[in-house]
Amino acid sequence: MRSEIVFDESLKSSCSLDGFAVSLVLPGGTACRAPKGFARKQLAACDYDVMTRLPWLLKPLLAGLTVTLLQLAMAVGLLAPEESLSERYSALVQHDSYWFMNIIDRGYQTIVPPIDHKVMEVSNVAFFPAYPAIAGLFRYGFKIDSSTALLITAQLAASGFWCYFFLFCKRWNVSPALQICGALLIAAHPAAFFLVAGYSESLFLMALLGFIYWSTMEGRSAKIWAALHGIVMSATRIAGIVCAAFPLVCSVFQTGWRGLLEPRRWLREHWRAISITIVAACGAIGFFVYSQLRWGQGDIYMLTQAAGWGIVPDHLAVFKPGSYRWLVPALNNPTEASQISMTLGALLLVGVALCELLPAIRRRAGLPMRAGIYFCAAAIYYISVSGVACVDMESMLRYEFCVHALIVLAFLNFLRQFRTPPMFVRAFGITAVALLSAAGLCVQGWYVWNFTRGNWVA
């Protein structure tokens, strides 16, 4: 924040404020100017304005930290096994977390070709590097064990994700009621607890929202922050490579599709968006280059996934009716839960498409931003479904959570354009959100109870 004090040329004495006018330039370009004789009173008002504007990050940060702590309190304080506090906390390290711990402790190791079943001591190149790399910095920087480093990294990233969520709400002037409803809809998703577990969901979502946030701001520093978030995003999940095209999608929706008919002119006009996209994808590109240099196989990640997990992508799975399940899943059957989440994810995407296309409710304001967010959600959905279709949609519940969070965020941008609805409409909406959130939290509680006892959830 920068402030400038401009003294009037008629200053008579350095000891008196009454002889000059003061102009204070505030963040955002507004200014307070004090007429002669009233400088002290006006300066007090300006000081108050500055103090209320300076902590622009404080409220979103505190809100994000609060939500993260509430998630931790539910998982560790209420649902984890009845052990000591440290053991309850460590119960958030399960399943894939052990693979990340192995990467932290041993680095990437594999034989070529990879072993044909899951043995982390032989082939562990089945996960992208950003999450174990950042956790490794905590591990060796603070001399803590790998499991604690994983949890600290995930929970700091969760706070960052929620902070960006509330920063977007602040930027769009979303009402407090809508903010609470949006946060509840995300936090009540059955897989939302993975934000505070030893998994990479929180880091990916934090980097993705940060990439979207900074890439839609002007200024060189904003672009640098966007690039850094983009690199972390693409180095965390393979879907981040496609999400790196967010600035390009926004640019196309801002200028229209006809510009693509003149490629040279289009490249000149959108070179900044193209540059950010390329830099953002470098996280994944660097991983593939590293794999090529070390093992002579740039696609060793895909080979390990195929050999150990049986992942053979089916790129047409989203277009096959047989991929969708319509039965209510049993609580003790996580595969069925992942299958129904795939169906619900498709319904969400279709629903937002209808909202954006129907003339009666269509809103053009903010469409490029929403189109970019929808693009990222659809890309994550498509890549996830294509990858897990061959294993009966296993883990789709967790992957669909990222899609769900993005759709809720974009929908808040859509809803904030409407006038305040009548009281009965607001009451109906709040009641619906409360019921959905209550149901979601109940299901999530069941999954947390099982997850912290070592059972597979997603």
Find how far residue 228's CA is from the centre of its chain.
Answer: 14
Percent of the chain with pLDDT over 90: 70
Residues 26 and 74 in one domain: no
Kindly give, in sequence order, each residue whose CB lies less than 8 Å from that of residue 434, ignoring residues fewer than 6 positions away.
184
**Phi/psi-derived region of residue 17, left when phi > 0, alpha when psi is between -120 and 50, beta in every other case:** alpha
Residues 257 and 361 in one domain: yes
Kindly give, in sequence order, each residue whose CB lies less than 8 Å from that of residue 224, ignoring residues fewer than 6 positions away.
none
Contact 447, 190 (CB under 8 A): yes
Distance (Å, rounded) from C-alpha 185 to C-alpha 121? 39
Contact 215, 182 (CB under 8 A): no
The answer as to whether 458 is a domain residue is: no
The count of other CB atoms within 10 Å of the CB of residue 450 is: 17
Contact 126, 308 (CB under 8 A): yes
Task: Determine if the peptide bond prior to 368 is cis (ω within 30°).
Answer: no
Mean pLDDT of the chain: 86
Residues 120 and 202 in one domain: yes
Residues 68 and 180 in one domain: yes
Whether pLDDT at 9 is above 50: no
Kindly give, in sequence order, each residue whose CB lies less than 8 Å from that of residue 269, ignoring residues fewer than 6 positions away.
251, 255, 259
Whether pLDDT at 267 is above 90: no
The answer as to whether 181 is a domain residue is: yes
Percent of the chain with pLDDT over 70: 87
Question: What total number of domains does the chain contain?
Answer: 2
**Phi/psi-derived region of residue 256, left when phi > 0, alpha when psi is between -120 and 50, beta in every other case:** left
The answer as to whether 304 is a domain residue is: yes
Distance (Å, rounded) from C-alpha 322 to C-alpha 343? 11
Residues 47 and 76 in one domain: no
Residues 25 and 142 in one domain: no
Distance (Å, rounded) from C-alpha 326 to C-alpha 337? 11
pLDDT of 332-349, one tens digit each?
899 999 999 999 999 999
The answer as to whether 456 is a domain residue is: no
The answer as to whether 177 is a domain residue is: yes
Helix, coil or strand: residue 24: strand
Domain of 189?
Answer: 55-451
Backbone phi, psi, residue 322, to 5°: -70, -15
Residues 185 and 98 in one domain: yes
Whether pLDDT at 167 is above 80: yes
Distance (Å, rounded) from C-alpha 165 to C-alpha 160? 9
Pick 154 or 272 by higher pLDDT.
154
Whether pLDDT at 231 is above 90: yes
The answer as to whether 457 is a domain residue is: no
Residues 166 and 46 in one domain: no
Residues 34 and 176 in one domain: no
pLDDT for 259 equals 67
Q: What would the mean pLDDT of 406-434 be, rounded to a whole number?
A: 90
Find how far residue 47's CA is from the centre of its chain.
Answer: 35
The answer as to whether 360 is a domain residue is: yes
Residues 363 and 262 in one domain: yes
The answer as to whether 74 is a domain residue is: yes
Residues 108 and 39 in one domain: no
Q: What would the mean pLDDT of 313-326 be, rounded to a whole number?
A: 92
In a 10 Å sphere around its CB, with 0-12 CB exposed, 13-18 middle and 19+ buried, how is residue 294 labelled? middle
pLDDT of 436-453, one tens digit each?
999 999 999 999 999 999
Tokens of 140: 């060796």
Residues 18 and 110 in one domain: no
Q: What would the mean pLDDT of 374-400 be, rounded to a whole number?
A: 95
